[in-house]
């Protein structure tokens, strides 16, 4: 049977009543975590530029922008997806290496708001969207990840599936929506070389693509029926080694959203294992910078492919430097949103330790990736003392979880730009989403926000 047909059937038959209570509760936590990142990123320069572009293009007043005001559903998904991926605190699934929230949730919210759909419908669609993109991501990982940004490529499918569910498409229409989503899949890692804003374009466009694909399918627009496994389909074109059995294994019997991880450090997830270890060391033992001879970080190859940068010169590049993040965590004992700034970027103590950080691939850790995102760190002092630490799972992974209360506190910290009463209201509304007849009560908080100053970005 065609894989798209199997996925389409899953999307069609999965209802809110089939979701276990823990899946409903966890999905709401993912939604709250998404909003925190989206709010925190809404005034960053790349989002200001995208928001200005959207304002210039115009659009029907269908869905709310995280930056204030309303626009078309496609453009709302674009802005709101991009906004949630910039402060590097959005969720992550280690087996597929996908940040699903930044793609699936903005697409689903845009449609749910436009169509005045219920909280139950939204929760169901989001859980389905996570399931679909995670399974496709797992099938092509890890070889796909070297050139392709999984959130951008596989995220198209998740967004399309979520929107298809909300639009109540039939199986044939869902197959075509997946075909159109897959043919638009793109997102190259080359942006990492110079810190280009393409990283924000990726999830925004993937969310937008998912909306477009399902809206077109609703009107009879056709897409490739074998977009995944076809001879010139997604798998063959974009992965050296793929396992299509992962698409169907346990489908409908488990909910992969429960495998989702949450970030507590505002940097690339591939730096978090090292940061956890350094912060724990900082809490247990006072180490003078001058006493350090060398810090050795042993981890998996992919972490080095993405984060091996021993001289970041911008704040954003620092978030993708395992050397900088290791040093920052050891010196400052933190790695949250406010830990990365121009001051810490050039902090002499951080730079001094960074110069002493050596990174290596550990064969055992590399073999266990991506099931485990592990690291071993050796801090060697000038006295000859060697402190060795290791971890298999960064904080926030299901095996090393954060609590619901942790996520609420994280949201309140990231949403400090809003009045406290509004932030607390959003928490309450999201956490009781299944009782809501529409999502309007949540989105109204953003409709009246002062619009960003766009004049400097209009040509």
pLDDT given at position 451 = 43
Q: Which domains does the chain have, with CATH numbers?
A: 3-264+402-457 (1.10.4100.10), 269-391 (3.30.1330.120)
Q: Which two tokens stand for residue 118?
A: 């219920």
Residue 286 is predicted with a pLDDT of 86
Residue 127's pLDDT is what?
98
pLDDT at 66: 96
Banded model confidence at residue 34, pLDDT cuts 50, 70, 90: very high
pLDDT tens profile 87-116:
999 999 999 999 999 999 999 999 999 999
Closest to 51 (Cα-Cα) out of 443, 448, 459, 457: 457
What does residue 63 show for φ and ψ, rounded to 5 degrees?
-145, 155
Residue 449 banded pLDDT, cuts 50, 70, 90: low
pLDDT given for residue 13 in this prediction: 98
Maximum Cα–Cα distance across the chain: 72
CA atoms within 13 A on the CB side of 259: 20
Q: What is the pTM of this model?
A: 0.94
Q: How confident is the model at residue 454 (pLDDT cuts 50, 70, 90)?
A: very low
In this prediction, residue 447 carries a pLDDT of 81
155-166 vs 198-218: helix axis angle to the nearest 10? 40
Of residues 261 and 459, more confidently modeled = 261
β-bridge pairing 357-361 and 292-299? parallel
Q: What is the mean pLDDT of residues 251-262?
A: 97
Burial class of residue 205 in the structure, from the number of CB atoms within 10 Å of its CB (0-12 exposed, 13-18 middle, 19+ buried) = buried
> Residue 456's pLDDT band (boundaries 50, 70, 90)?
very low
The angle subtended at Cα 32 by Cα 262 and Cα 136, nearest 5°, is: 55
pLDDT digits (tens, 9 = 90+) for 229-238: 999 999 999 9
Give Cβ neighbours of residue 252 (< 8 Å, ≥ 6 apart).
10, 13, 14
Q: What mean pLDDT do residues 433-457 have? A: 74
Dist. CA 96–CA 258, nearest whole Å: 13
pLDDT at 450 over 80: no
Roughly what angle, to the nearest 10 degrees, separates helices 101-114 and 198-218?
40
pLDDT score of 455 more than 50? no
The predicted structure's pLDDT at residue 453: 44
- pLDDT, one tens digit per residue, over 220-231 is 999 999 999 999
10 Å CB burial of residue 258 (0-12, 13-18, 19+) is middle
CA geometry: angle 16, 17, 22, nearest 5 deg: 80
- Average pLDDT of the chain is 95
Q: Which H, E and C letters describe the chain, residue by residue?
A: CCHHHHHHHHHHHCCHHHCCHHHHHHHHHHHHHHHHHHHHHCCCHHHHHHHHHHHHHCCCCCEECCCCCEECHHHHHHHHHHHCCCCCCCCEECCCCECCHHHHHHHHHHHHHHCCCCHHHHHHHHHHHHHHHHHHHHHHCCHHHHCECHHHHCHHHHHHHHHHHHCCCCHHHHHHHHHHHHHCCCCEHHHHHCCCCHHHHHHHHHHHHHHHHHHHHHCCCCCCCCCCCCCCCHHHHHCCCCCCHHHHCCECCECHHHHCECCCCCCCHHHHHHHHHHHHHHHHCCCCHHHEEEEEEEECHHHHHHHCCCCCCCHHHHCCCHHHHHHHHHHHCCCCHHHCCHHHHCCHHHHHHHCCEEEEECHHHHHHCCCCCCEEEEEEECCCCEEEEEECCCCCCCCCCCCHHHHHHHHHHHCCCCCHHHHHHHHHHHHCHHHCCCCHHHHHHHHCCCCCCCHHHCC
Which pLDDT band, with edges at 50, 70 and 90, does 47 fall under? very high
Write out pLDDT tens, residues 381-429.
999 999 999 999 999 999 999 999 999 999 999 999 889 999 999 999 9
pLDDT tens digits, residue range 180-208? Answer: 999 999 999 999 888 899 999 999 999 99
């Amino acid at each position: 049977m065609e894989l798209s047909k199997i996925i389409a059937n899953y999307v069609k038959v999965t209802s809110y009543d089939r979701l276990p209570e823990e899946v409903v509760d966890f999905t709401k936590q993912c939604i709250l975590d998404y909003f925190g990142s989206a709010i925190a990123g809404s005034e960053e320069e790349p989002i200001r530029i995208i928001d200005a572009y959207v304002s210039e293009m115009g659009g029907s007043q269908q869905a709310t922008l995280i930056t204030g005001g309303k626009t078309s559903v496609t453009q709302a998904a674009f802005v709101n997806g991009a906004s949630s991926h910039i402060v590097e605190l959005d969720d992550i699934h280690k087996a597929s290496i996908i940040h699903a929230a930044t793609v699936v949730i903005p697409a689903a919210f845009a449609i749910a708001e436009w169509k005045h759909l219920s909280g139950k419908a939204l929760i169901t669609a989001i859980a389905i969207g996570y399931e679909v993109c995670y399974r496709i991501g797992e099938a092509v990982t890890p070889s796909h990840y070297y050139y392709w940004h999984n959130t951008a490529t596989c995220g198209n499918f998740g967004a399309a599936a979520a929107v298809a569910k909300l639009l109540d498409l039939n199986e044939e229409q869902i197959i075509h929506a997946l075909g159109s989503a897959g043919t638009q899949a793109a997102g190259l890692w080359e942006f990492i070389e110079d810190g280009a804003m393409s990283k924000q374009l990726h999830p925004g466009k993937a969310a937008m693509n998912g909306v477009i694909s399902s809206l077109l399918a609703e009107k009879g627009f056709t897409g490739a029926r074998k977009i995944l496994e076809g001879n010139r389909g997604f798998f063959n074109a974009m992965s050296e080694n793929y396992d299509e059995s992962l698409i169907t294994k346990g489908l409908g019997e488990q909910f992969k959203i429960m495998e989702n991880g949450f970030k507590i450090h505002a940097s690339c997830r591939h730096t978090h294992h090292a940061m956890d270890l350094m912060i724990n060391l900082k809490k247990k033992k006072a180490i003078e910078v001058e006493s350090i001879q060398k810090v050795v970080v042993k981890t998996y190859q992919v972490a080095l492919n993405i984060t091996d940068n021993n001289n970041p010169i911008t704040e954003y590049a620092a978030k993708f430097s395992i050397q900088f993040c290791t040093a920052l965590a050891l010196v400052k004992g933190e790695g949250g949103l406010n830990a990365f700034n121009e001051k810490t970027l050039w902090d002499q103590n951080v730079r001094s330790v960074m110069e002493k950080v050596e990174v290596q691939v550990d064969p055992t850790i590399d073999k266990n990736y991506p099931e485990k995102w592990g690291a071993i760190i050796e801090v060697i002092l000038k006295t000859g003392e060697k402190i060795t630490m290791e971890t298999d799972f960064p904080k926030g992974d299901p095996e090393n979880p954060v609590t619901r209360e942790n996520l609420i506190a994280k949201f309140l910290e990231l949403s400090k730009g809003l009045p406290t009463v509004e932030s607390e209201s959003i928490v309450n509304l999201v956490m009781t989403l299944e009782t809501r007849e529409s999502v309007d009560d949540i989105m109204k908080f953003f409709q009246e926000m002062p619009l960003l100053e766009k004049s400097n970005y209009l040509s």
